Amino acid sequence: MPKVDYTTEQIKEIAREENVRFLRLMFTDVSGMIKNVEVPISQMDKVLDQKMMFDGSSIEGFVRIEESDMYLYPDLTTWMIFPWEAEHGKVARLICDIYNADGTPFAGDPRGNLKRVLCHMQELGFTSFELGPEPEFFLFQLDQDRKITKNLNDHGGYFDFAPMDLGENCRRDIVLELEKLGFEVEASHHEAAPGQHEIDFKYADAIDACDSIQTFKLVVKTIARKYDLHATFMPKPMEGIAGSGMHCNMSLFKGNENAFYDENGELELSQTAYQFLAGLIKHARAYTAVCDPTVNSYKRLVPGYEAPVHVAWSGHNRSPLIRVPSSRGLSTRLELRSVDPSANPYLALAALLEAGLDGIQNELVPPEGVDRNIYVMTEDEREKAQIFDLPSTLHNALKELKNDSVILEALGSHIYENFIEAKQMEWAAFRQTVSEWEREQYLELY
C-alpha cells in the first residue's frame, strides 16, 4: 500500500469531509491477534496528540496489572477509512505503536520490536527490508444460525474458476475492497485444496507489509461474512488436503539498489544474498517456532502436501524450504516457504531479518543448492547433502528457539518470555487432549 505522510490537520479535514464518526486504534498483541480501541471522533485531538491511554494488563503478553497504563501512538501514515460500517457514519483506523507511561517505547510491542531490528539493519548499511507475502486462507460455510460448519465452500482446485470455484465472487469482492483501501493486488486465485484461496499483493518495506497483512486478514474475514462464509487463516483446518501457507519473498535494499542482485554472480545473486540465505538456513529450526507458532502449524509441515519439511534451498525446484524465484534486478528475492498465516508477521519478520543479518555479519556460506526432489531422496542422500528436517512439533520448535541466541535477540527478552510461556501452555493443553483419531484407533483395540 502506498504510504502517505499525512499531517494531523489533513487527517482532521478528511475526517470532516468523509463524515468519519469513529476511530479504530489498532495494534497487535504477541500472539498476532489484532486488537483495537474504538473511540468517537470527538476524541480525535486526544488521539493525534498521543494522549490516548489503555489498560495494557488486559492484553496477552503485555504487562502486569500494577504497570498497566500504556499509550497508543498513532502512525499517521496508516490513516485509512473503511469502506463498510457506514450506517452511523464512517469508521477510520490508525495503526498504533505502544509506549510506556514514561514516554518510552514498550518492549512488548511486536511492531515496535520490528522497528528496533530494522535499526540494526540500517547500522549495517542497508536502507530497507522488503517483503512480498503470499497469504492463503480457507472459506467455510456458515449454517442458518451463522455458526461455522465443517463444510468447505467449494470443491475446486488450483486455478479453477466458477462453477467449480464458488468462492470466486467473494474473492473478487475482497480484491475490490482491498483496492479501495490502496492495496496493489498482483494476483488472486483458487489454491490447490478445496475451499482454499490466495491473494497476493505487491511487496513493501517490512513495517508496511506487516501492517498490510493484518489489514488484509480483517478485510478477508469481513467480506466473507457478507457471503455467509467464514474465512480462516488456520494453517491446516482439514486433514487429507494441503494447508495454508504465507510464503515470504524477502530482499534487502541499499537505496534504490537491490542488495541481493549481482549480474555477475552465480545465479545472478550477490554475496550478500548468499550470506543472508546462509543465515536463514542456520537458524531455520529456531525461527520455525515464530513463523509456525501453533500446534496446528505442524500438521501442515508434513510430506505430500507441497509444504516444506527439509531445510535446504534451490534456484529451481519447489520442494526445499527456500526457493530463489527466477526474477532478477529489483525483483531479486529469496522465498521462504515454511511461514504460515497464523504467524505474528511483525515477530516473524524480526526473526527472519536477524537470521539473515547474522549470515551477513559472520560471512556465512550456504550449503550447495538442491535441484532434486528432496521428497524422493533417501535419508543417507539428504545427510550427505547437509539437508536436515524442520521441527515436527511445536514442542520441538520451542526447544530449538530456546537454544538460539540470535532469534532470542530478534524478539527481545520481554516478547520472548511471554511468547514461550504462552506456547508452552498451548502445548501442555494439547498434550492433555484426547482426539477422536485416538478413540477410533485404540478404544476398541485395547
> Which pLDDT value is given to residue 393?
96
pLDDT of residue 4: 80
CA distance 53 to 344: 24
What is each CA distance from 21 to 14, 77, 85, in whole angstroms?
A: 12, 20, 10
Strands (E), 85-237: 90-100, 128-142, 148-152, 185-190, 196-201, 204-205, 229-232
End-to-end CA distance of the chain: 58
pLDDT string in tens for the chain (446-residue length): 667 888 999 999 999 998 899 999 999 999 999 988 889 999 999 999 998 888 766 565 555 544 567 899 999 999 999 887 666 788 999 999 999 888 899 999 999 999 999 999 999 999 999 999 999 999 988 888 888 888 887 765 444 444 444 567 888 888 888 888 888 888 777 776 888 888 888 889 999 999 999 999 999 998 998 888 999 999 999 988 889 999 999 999 999 999 999 999 889 999 999 999 999 999 999 999 999 999 999 999 998 888 889 898 988 777 789 999 888 888 899 999 999 999 999 999 999 999 999 999 999 999 888 877 777 778 888 888 778 899 999 999 999 999 999 999 999 999 999 999 999 999 999 999 999 999 999 999 99
The amino acid sitting at 442 is Y
CB 247 within 8 A of CB 335: yes
In the DSSP assignment, the letter for residue 161 is -
pTM for the whole thing? 0.91
Residue 181: which of 136, 218, 230 has the closest Cα? 218
* pLDDT for residue 66: 45
Q: Residue 127, Cβ neighbours under 10 Å: how many?
A: 15
Q: Distances from the Cα of 442 to the Cαs of 2, 240, 435, in angstroms? A: 56, 21, 11
Query: Are 412 and 116 in contact, with CB atoms under 8 Å apart?
Result: yes
Q: Please give the single-letter amino acid code of residue 62.
A: F
Contacts of 253 (CB under 8 A, 6+ apart): 126, 127, 128, 129, 130, 259
| Residue showing cell 488486559 | 58
* Whole-angstrom distance, CA of residue 89 vs CA of residue 135: 31
Which residue matches cell numbers 504465507?
Answer: 246
- Position 339 scores a pLDDT of 95
Q: Cα separation of 396 and 292, whole Å?
A: 12
What is d(CA 236, CA 294) in angstroms, rounded to the nearest whole number? 10
Distances (CA, A) of 211 to 10, 32, 163, 315, 421: 21, 11, 34, 29, 25
For residue 407, what is its C-alpha cell?
Answer: 532469534
Go through the chain and tell me how many residues it has: 446
